Amino acid sequence: MSTAMNAKIIGSGEETLVLAHGFGTDQSIWDKVVPYLADHCQVVVFDWCFSGAVKDPDLYDAAKYSTYDAFADDIICLLDEMKLKSSVFVGHSMSGMIGCIASIKRPDLFHKLILVTTSPRFLNSEDYEGGFELSDVEQIFSSIESNYEQWTSSFSVLVVDSSDPESVEKLEKSLKRMRPEVALTLAKTVFLIDHRDMLEKVTTPCYIIHTRNDIVVPNSVPEYMQNKIKGECKVEIINTNGHFPQLTAHHDFVEVIDAILADK
């Protein structure tokens, strides 16, 4: 499992951080923050099976990974193989909810969850603002299917702070490494799921990191999650725009992580 997922441990320290990337990226999305975190922590990085960095294309099975449960099982298997318990899980975007599910299944694995620009549901409903209408996500699926190259460029500009062209380019390159057919099936899983009912089962202390303005996840979502999560839950807002604070405000991001680690 660890070999297939390109898992590695960087640095050393009493605390173990498990960094889980989101849709369309790979472990390199953490490159700016790992050197700072590994200075005083043991940092685990890996690639999910959908990532363009994973060598075996057969690892990703669209039917198996049509829910977050299979991803949660993967991270549980990985941490068991690495003999890691009571770590801090840092999940970006979709991985935040995957971490929540894994923590419900195996509370012994994590003593803190850090949920970075995470959402339990992206679709709007009568009583919930997810940020997208069904027609919006259907347009995303259509764009991925009809011209994936063009979509990766336009999507990257939308979700990363455009005042940071280097980070926009990093996401675009990462998306382009992903196979279009994988991107399409995974996008359907991500944008159509509804895991709001999972939140009240989460008892591990949670820290939600959000940005000032994220086009993917409205500002109302962290507040919603904080109200629903059963365990202790705090929200930290980083003064940057977009969905990727670990890219666009990495110094602030590390400061927030350090403060969370110090919070006993």
Q: What is the mean pLDDT of residues 101-115?
A: 98
Q: Is 111 a catalytic residue?
A: no
Using the predicted structure, report yes or no on whether residue 264 has a pLDDT greater than 80: no
pLDDT, tens digit (0-9, with 9 covering 90-100), for 136-183: 999 999 999 999 999 999 999 999 998 999 999 999 999 999 999 999
Q: Is 258 a catalytic residue?
A: no
Q: What is the mean pLDDT of residues 115-134?
A: 97
One of 119, 167, 214, 250 is an active-site residue; which one? 214
Pick the closest to residue 184 from 139, 232, 225 (CA basis). 139
* CA separation, residue 116 to residues 125, 163, 237 (Å): 23, 20, 10
Q: How far apart are CA 114 and CA 110, in angstroms?
A: 10
* CA separation, residue 87 to residues 82, 83, 215 (Å): 12, 11, 30
Q: Which two tokens stand for residue 229?
A: 């999560």
Q: 135 near 113, Cβ under 8 Å?
A: no
One of 21, 92, 243, 250 is an active-site residue; which one? 243
pLDDT of residue 52: 94
pLDDT, tens digit (0-9, with 9 covering 90-100), for 50-91: 999 998 988 999 999 999 999 999 999 999 999 999 999 999
Where in the chain does DSSP place strands (E)?
A: 8-10, 16-20, 42-45, 87-92, 110-116, 206-213, 233-241
| pTM, full prediction | 0.97
One of 93, 95, 156, 167 is an active-site residue; which one? 93
Q: How far apart are CA 28 and CA 92, in angstroms?
A: 13
Using the predicted structure, report yes or no on whether residue 125 has a pLDDT greater than 80: yes
Q: Is 243 a catalytic residue?
A: yes
pLDDT of residue 57: 86
